[in-house]
Structures are given as structure tokens and as C-alpha cells.
Amino acid sequence: MNANPNATAVAGELAGRHIVLGLSGGAACFKAAEFCRLLIKAGATVQVVMTEAACQFITPVAMQALSGRPVYVSQWDARPDNNMAHINLSREADAIVVAPASADFIAQLVQGRAGELLPLMCLARPIHRVPLLLGPAMNREMWAHPATQRNLRQVVEDGATVLGVAHGDQACGEFGDGRMLEAAELLEELIAFLAPKPLLGQRVLITAGPTFEAIDPVRGITNLSSGKMGFAIARAAREAGADVTLIAGPVHLPTPRGVRRVDVDSARNMHAATVAHAHDAHIFIATAAVADWRPATQAEHKIKKDGSGDVPQMAFVENPDILADIAHSPRAQSGDLYCVGFAAESQDLQANAQAKRARKGVPLLVANIGPATFGKDDNALLLVDDEGVTELPRASKRLLAQQLVQEIARRVSGLDA
Ligand code: C5P
């Protein structure tokens, strides 16, 4: 499995965007180099601006090589015809991202100081048009210090967005809060920040992955669902501004940033967790491949071979249908909760999808050819609802998830209107 699926699926996602990447001093400057590379890979143009302190940690030469543009450090840089780098650079930007943002740099922002080019440029930016995002990086004591926490509250009040921080090993050898986010996480946050927000204010509940139905403590029944589609939808819904809860069966996928994840194993646990979170959700999307049956009994200890050649006889009972239960709840029936079902079919996609939509009682049913998509990074979807049939042709699950979220947002806002 790729360690960073969120970093691989973004080619071209920032095409046409111009990002000013600011570096202030900190050991995390090495991550800014990787972040710069990912921004370029995602299609952005990147202008790097560094403080003198940042130049102690990484050279402007390295950042120029990675960004493909000469780096700015000094406010007295005479290259611009008008000698006003701070004005020109800030006005060209779709966003300014300062990562690492040191404690000192954040303190300078709070005070509106402009002693070198980077804070000067941040101060001079058109505040309502050019967003400022900060990726703090510092020792845990510096992070926890009341002065830093006070400064962070103030920069947010002054319009900046703070990304992170992470918890873990620090360059100084200590362990705690204050690590800068990884490059792929910064990229995910920036893409989410820049995305349109058609689901702002909506609470979205999603089930994803397989379920695991235990036979005994070491064996069970499951299926080949990877969870990738559901996780991609969770990410896309969060980017669209929703508050997202993801009920995940046993899968090996990182949680999309900003998404609340609840891990479950069996269908019954998934059912209980979903019911518990559905009471205040506005949209429910059931992508999980829930096991239809479970063993009628679960052995307390491992079932042993006894050498006789006899095989255990197994009886099954039906699992609760999570989607059908939620779709028949009073909130769904009254239109307060919009339910979306998935169907993994092996043939007759449209006919099967229409039948399943009626059977489950959901306004929107999304069909795909199950065996052709399990575990893969791409898929093709067929949306069946009152309007008829909408085809989302084969594409990455990332792109399909974004398109599906737009389709759902359009239908939900149509309901509200
Ligand atoms: O009945 P079938 O499994 O084909 O229906 C698929 C849809 O129903 C998916 O949206 C799936 O997440 C949901 N489902 C469920 N609980 C079950 C079975 C399916 O929520 N027990």
C-alpha cells in the first residue's frame, strides 16, 4: 500500500493556482522542501519567500531548484522594477502559506511587524482577497507557552488560518505538540481550504469499508472492500465544508484530515455507531460493504481441528440493514436526513440500481460494478434518482468522490429551496 494515498491522487488539483510559500526559521524547513515539490506536482506555481533565519536551515538555492523560480529573502531586493517585492508578491498570490511558521514569526504577525520581507509581505497583503495559512513548527514548551497560545488566538482573529500542529518526536529530542504537519498533510489542508464550500453547515455521516464477522477469536468472514471510495467521499465532503463523521470498518487507510473517524468491526457495531451519529446528521452516505450474514454463534475459544476430518457446521443469521433502517427513520422520512445508498453489482447496473433504490427507500442510489472496483484507485458510477440516471464516467475515486459530493450538494440545496 502507498504510505501516502492522499499525496498521490492530486496531480493537477492546484492547476492555475499561484502559491507564495513562506519559510521562517526552524528544523521543519526540510519538510517545506517536500511541500514545495508536492505543490508543483499538484500543478501550482510557487514563489518562495524566506526569512534570514530560514536560510540557516535550508538554502535558497535548494528552494529555487524545487520551485523553479528565484527565491526572495530581502525586502531590499532590487530585482522588481518598482523595488516593492512585498507588494508585487502578495498581490500575485492566490494564497500565502508560511510553513514552517516559527513562534517568533507568529509573534511578529501579531504585532504587525515588518522588519524583513516575509512578515512585511504578510502585512501588506490584501487581507480580504489573499488568505494567509500558517504551518507552525516549534518545541512543545514553546508551543504550550501562554504567549504563543495568545499569539495564535490573535493571528486567527486577525484572519489567518492555522494548520496543525502534530504530536510526536521533535528535532530537539523531546516529544509532544508543536511538530509541523507533514508535507502531504499541508497539501491536503491547502486543497481543502481552496475548495468551494457547497456543504457548509451540513453534517455528513458516511459508512465505509468491509465489516468483519467473527467465527472465533482468530477467524472471521469479511469481504474485499478497501474503503477507498468511502474515504475519498469523506475527504471530498470535508473539503466541501461539511462536518464529517466516518464510520469505518477494518481498513488500512489514513483518516482524511478534519474528518471524525469511528472504527468498528462487525455489522452490528457499525449499525449501532451509525444510529448513534445519525440523529443530528443532514446527509447519510452508505458506502460500506456490510456483510449480509454473520455466524449464528461466535466461539469463545479457537475452534480446533480434532483430527477426525469432520468440518464444523456453521449456521448464519442476517445482519441488520443499516441503510434501510436509517432511510426508514422519521428524520429521513421527513426529509431532514438525505440518504444515499451504494450498490456493487456484477451485471445489469441500471435495472439493479433502480430496484435497490426502491427496496432501500433512498432518494439517491449510486451503482458501480463491484468486482471491477474493489481495491482499485478508479471507478465509474451510475447515479439513479427521481431525475433519472446520471453517469459519472471512469475516473479516479478521488475525482468521482468530488463529483458525487457536488451532485449530492446540488440535490440537498434543491430540497432546501
Ligand atoms: O443490499 P445491498 O448490500 O446490496 O445494499 C448495498 C447498500 O446498502 C450499500 O449502500 C450498503 O452500504 C448498504 N447496506 C447496509 N447494511 C447492510 C447491507 C447493506 O447499510 N446490512
pLDDT per position as a tens digit, 272-307: 999 999 999 999 999 999 999 999 999 999 999 888
Is 303 within the bounds of a domain?
A: no
**Domain identity same for 183 and 264:** no
Q: What is the sign, positive or negative, of the torsion defined by CA atoms of 398, 402, 408, 411?
A: negative
Distance CA 214, CA 108 (A): 57
Ligand 1 atom at shortest distance from the alpha carbon of 344: 4
Is 1 within the bounds of a domain?
A: no
**Domain identity same for 150 and 208:** no
**Domain identity same for 288 and 405:** yes
The residue among 131, 161, 194 that closes a domain is 194
Share of the chain above pLDDT 70, in %: 96
- Give yes or no for residue 219 having a pLDDT over 70: yes
**Domain identity same for 283 and 254:** yes
Instruction: Please name which of 399, 396, 349 lies closest in space to residue 371, comparing C-alpha atoms.
Output: 349
**pTM, rounded to two decimals:** 0.93
Residue owning the nearest CA to atom 4 of ligand 1: 343
- Give yes or no for residue 398 having a pLDDT over 50: yes
Q: What are the strands, taking DSSP E only, across 40-107?
A: 45-50, 95-101
**Domain identity same for 275 and 320:** yes
Q: What share of the chain is helix, strand, coil (3-state, %, to 5)?
A: 35, 25, 40
Is 56 within the bounds of a domain?
A: yes
Distance CA 312, CA 327 (A): 37
The residue among 194, 220, 242 that closes a domain is 194
- Give yes or no for residue 204 having a pLDDT over 50: yes
Q: Using pLDDT thresholds of 50, 70 and 90, give the confidence band for residue 9.
A: very low
Average pLDDT over every residue of 167-196: 95
**Domain identity same for 185 and 219:** no
Residue owning the nearest CA to atom 17 of ligand 1: 321
State the distance from the centre of ligand 1 to the C-alpha of 287, rounded, in angstroms: 8
Domain total of the chain:
2
Distance CA 143, CA 304 (A): 55
Which residue matches cell numbers 535550508?
Answer: 58
**Domain identity same for 222 and 288:** yes
State the distance from the centre of ligand 1 to the C-alpha of 83, rounded, in angstroms: 63
pLDDT per position as a tens digit, 156-177: 999 999 998 999 998 889 899 9
Pocket around ligand 1 at a 6 A CB cut-off: 207, 267, 286-288, 290, 319, 321-323, 341-343, 356
Ligand 1 atom at shortest distance from the alpha carbon of 365: 10
Average pLDDT over every residue of 254-272: 97
State the distance from the centre of ligand 1 to the C-alpha of 61, rounded, in angstroms: 55
**Domain identity same for 126 and 255:** no
Is 44 within the bounds of a domain?
A: yes
Is 307 within the bounds of a domain?
A: no
pLDDT per position as a tens digit, 264-278: 999 999 999 999 999
Average pLDDT over every residue of 371-382: 82
Is 305 within the bounds of a domain?
A: no
Specify the DSSP class assigned to residue 262.
Answer: E
**Domain identity same for 154 and 262:** no
Looking at residue 134, what is its pLDDT? Answer: 98
Looking at residue 3, what is its pLDDT? Answer: 41
Least confident range of 228-232, 365-369, 389-393: 365-369
The residue among 167, 194, 221 that closes a domain is 194
Q: Using pLDDT thresholds of 50, 70 and 90, give the confidence band for residue 11.
A: confident
Is 304 within the bounds of a domain?
A: no
Q: How many alpha carbons fall within 13 Å on the CB side of residue 315? A: 3
Q: Using pLDDT thresholds of 50, 70 and 90, give the confidence band for residue 7.
A: very low
Q: What is the CATH number of the domain that holds 214?
A: 3.40.50.10300
**Domain identity same for 365 and 232:** yes
State the distance from the centre of ligand 1 to the C-alpha of 290, rounded, in angstroms: 6
Residue 55 known to be catalytic:
no
- Give yes or no for residue 254 having a pLDDT over 50: yes
3-state secondary structure of 308: coil
Is 253 within the bounds of a domain?
A: yes
**Domain identity same for 124 and 85:** yes
**Domain identity same for 211 and 82:** no
- Give yes or no for residue 357 having a pLDDT over 90: yes
Mean pLDDT for all residues in the chain: 94
Residue owning the nearest CA to atom 21 of ligand 1: 321
The range of the structural domain enclosing residue 362 comes to 203-294+314-413
